[in-house]
Amino acid sequence: MRSLLSTVSIDIHAAQCKNCTKWRVIDMQEAFEEIRCKAFEEPFHCSLKANCSCDDPTDIEYDSSRTWVIDKPNLPKTPQGFRRIILVLRKDYSKLDPYYISATGKRLRTSNEIAAYLKDHLECKGIAPTNFDFSSPKIMQDTVPENVDQEDSVSANKKVKIAKDDI
């Protein structure tokens, strides 16, 4: 049985203005992905959001009232008919699991699963496996809740090297 934490996913998308550095809520995941996939060529600025300018107050504050994760810029936009989902997998917030859901509801967790799905579904013609990216966003550690014990899990996951003389 999965824990409640593993059902937590991204619930707000935001982009930071290159000019004023204010955070703007992006209402739809598709619009956010459009901004993200062009981050280098066309950096986001407030005027790209309807009825918004750098003079307006920020939409959302970067603070520890929520856990922030930052996607890599220029990830490909999710192809039509698919949704990119990111779940928190560990209670110490050390692992995120990005995956895709197809139009048929199938959960696709790896590049190999994507390739097989595209091959088996003719309606996906024109969509390449390279249109999908399984990179995990970076967890902004300064926004992880204080009650989350991160040190124990980090040290527990480290491999210990034992010298031959110690055996």
pLDDT score of 60:
95
**111 membership: H or E segment, kind and range:** helix 111-120
Phi-psi region of 105 (alpha: psi -120 to 50; beta: other; left: phi over 0): left
Tens-place pLDDT, residues 82-105: 999 988 767 777 778 899 999 999
Residue 111 has pLDDT above 80, yes or no: yes
- Identify the CA nearest to 105 among candidates 116, 95, 87, 117: 117
In a 10 Å sphere around its CB, with 0-12 CB exposed, 13-18 middle and 19+ buried, how is residue 1 labelled? exposed
Q: Give yes or no for a contact between 36 and 74, defined as CB atoms under 8 angstroms apart.
A: yes
- Residue 55 contacts residue 134 (beta carbons within 8 Å): no
pLDDT confidence tier of residue 8, bands split at 50, 70 and 90: low
pLDDT score for 119:
95
> How many helices (H) and strands (E) would you count in the chain?
3, 7
The pLDDT value given to residue 149: 65
Residue 87 three-state SS = strand
